[in-house]
Every structure is written in structure tokens, then in C-alpha cells.
Structure 1
Amino acid sequence: MTTTDDSLAADIDACCRLTGEFTLRSGQVSSEYFDKYLFESDPLLLGRVAREMVQLVPQDTELLGGLELGGVPIATMVSAITGTPALFVRKHAKEYGTAKLAEGPPFEGRRVTLIEDVITTGGAVRDATRALREGGAIVEVVVCAIDRSPAGENPLADVGLEIRPVLTKADLDAARNG
């Protein structure tokens, strides 16, 4: 476990693990689902996750890129703790007004660490990484609350992105069975 908060995995698991039949963003069907909004809407639990994430953010980070929607509250909290500006990254550039992909400070030529809630296949992170890089950002690391990808696999290796999770599915399973 990468967290220094010994009870975080058990508390997240108890709060967020749902059972049933769920279709994930990837199209995969799962018998369980981690409803991340349950911890993200709890200020105390969100604060604990954010404090753990702070330890995983690379020192040379210039902007924290919170991915729409789940990464935004976490990035905001990490930003408040660290003083590092946040960037709110949309799934698609808006088609009106400023037509921006990301709201916040300019990111061209800057080192952006992505902040995400849950990664399974990495689809949303992959899309955001490509779009930000096309806009000139330097994106090499994503820090996430929960990495649900298979143990020992990096689903974002194809875009050269390092995943730094607070918790893995194995951590949550161990907390549940522990």
C-alpha cells in the first residue's frame, strides 16, 4: 500500500464499494463498482485522499490537471494544500465562448500532473494526455485515488504515462477481507 493513512483503504472501501451489475466507461461489465463520488462528496474523506496524493505529486509540477468530473474536486483540494495552481480539463473542448479544453492558467510549455479519481483502463486519462500534449503541455504522471487496473499492468504505458495511485484494487480488497 502506498498510503500512510492506515485506515484509508478500509474507509474508502466501506464508503464506496457497491455490488451489482455495472457497465464501466470502458464498456466492461463489473460485479462491483467504486462510487468515487461518495468519498469525493465527503469533505473529511476527500481531505484524507488529497493529503495522500500530495505526497505522490512530482516536485517539478507546475499545474494540477483535474479531469472532468471526478478529478476536479480532488485537484482543487490538492491545489489548496500545495499552493500549486489547478487546471480543470474537460472531456472535450467546449464549443462556445473561449472553446477551451482546459479552464485555468495557460498550460503550453508547462509540466502538468494529471489528477484522477479512478483508473481502470485509463481511457479518459489517455484522451486528456493526448489533448494536453497537442496543446504543448508536458504530461508524464497521473496521480489517482484508486487504480483498478490489473496488478503489475500500466494501461497508460502506450502514452508513456506513469500512474501513481494512493490505493489499488488489491489494497481495497485486502481492507475488505482483512
Structure 2
Amino acid sequence: MEKEALAKAIYETAHLQGSFKLRSGQTSHHYFDKYLFESNPRLLTEITERLMPLVPAGTEILAGLEMGGIPIATTLSLKTGIPVVFVRKKAKEYGTCKLAEGADIAGKKVCVIEDVVTTGGQILISANDLKKYGAEISTVLSVIERDPQGRTNLEKAGFTYLSLFKIDELLQAETM
């Protein structure tokens, strides 16, 4: 599927209009319900195919952030053979008390995977938490770059940020 066709398919599947409060506290009249495209096997496969070339060479672990980054990181892991970890917003308080479930991240080159980035706030928190466990993180990948502030914040923190789509590309898909 061509990138423009994928943008249109994501738009048609996941775009909602109304008044939506975002995690950042902002309000938006456009919302992309990531679970609608992540739960669609055809779209998730196409998204994965497009993200694969963006995974940096030498990546040893893919880190899917709770919750939306997990299906994307999982499908990337299946396609690339790179192990995956599932990153909680905070370490669980029972059992193993882990923050990142799955492969060991200590001393490994980890690529953080997220679905939608607005300000990058949760990514910065999670990346710093992962670094405390010994992860080496330089790159963040996402499907949708909702707001340029996210890119600014991630790059200011020293990360390379790569997104499959900017919000405007998806909104323009309506007219295709």
C-alpha cells in the first residue's frame, strides 16, 4: 500500500471529530483513535511495514510504551526479529515489580515505540525510567506526530524522533 493510501485508510478508520481532552491536557476537535487502527490487522501490518525501515541499525530491543505502543512494538518485533519489552507507566507493585516486561534491557540499544505523540511527556518519563535500568536510548518512533511540540521536546532531550505521519498528512487524506 502506498503511503498516501495508508494515510487515507488510517483517516477513514480512526479519525473522530468532536471535543477531546488529550493526555497533555490540551483539547482537540480532531482525534485519531489509535486502537481502531491498531486492532485492524491489515492496517497494523501496513503500518509495521512502513515503520520497519525507520528502526535504527543496531537496535537490540524494541520498547513498546503502555498501552498503544505495545501492539506496534510487538508487530515490529515479529517482522524484524528484534526482541520486545512492554513498558508500564510505573513499575508494578507485586510479583516481579518490573517496569519493563520481557527481554533484559540493561546495556542494550533500545528504540522506544509509541503510537501518537503530542508533547512527548510520557515518552520522556518512560525513557528516563528505562535508562535507570541500563537501557541505551537514542531513538523514538511513532505512527502519528500530533504536535510539533513533541518533536521539539524529544529532540531537546537528545533523542532522534521519527514519525510515520504528521497530523496534517492524515487530515489531508480526507480529501484524497
TM-score by length of 1: 0.94
Counterparts of residues 15-94 of structure 1 (less than 5 Å): 15-94=13-92
Query: Percent same amino acid among aligned pairs?
Result: 45
Unpaired runs of at least 5, structure 1: none
What is the one-letter code of the residue matched to 1:51?
E
Matched letter for residue 131 of structure 1:
D
Q: Deviations over 1:96-144 (max 9, x none)?
A: 1110010011101100001110001111111111101111111111111
CA distance in 2, matches of 1:4, 1:159: 33
> Among residues 156, 169, 174, which one is paired with 1:158 in the alignment?
156
Question: Distance in 1 between the 2:149 and 2:25 partners?
Answer: 20
Select the residue among 120, 123, 144 that pairs with 2:121: 123
Q: CA deviation at 1:177?
A: 3.2
Q: Secondary structure at the match of 2:148?
A: coil
Aligned partner of residue 152 in structure 2, secondary structure: coil
Counterpart Cα distance in 1 of 2:169 and 2:89: 29
- The residue number in structure 2 matching 1:149 is 147
Contact 1:154 1:163 in 2 (8 A): no
RMSD across aligned C-alpha pairs, in angstroms?
Answer: 1.6
Secondary structure of the residue that 1:30 maps to in structure 2?
Answer: strand
One-letter amino acid of the structure 2 residue matched with residue 34 of structure 1: F
Q: Secondary structure at the match of 1:53?
A: helix
Q: 1:21 touches 1:29 (CA, 8 Å); kept in 2?
A: yes
In 1, Cα distance between equivalents of 2:132 and 2:125:
11
- Whole-angstrom distance in 1 between the partners of 2:137 and 2:125: 12
SS at match of 1:65: strand
Cα distance change on mapping 1:64 and 1:105 into 2, 3 Å: same
How far does residue 153 in structure 1 lie from its aligned partner after superposition?
4.7
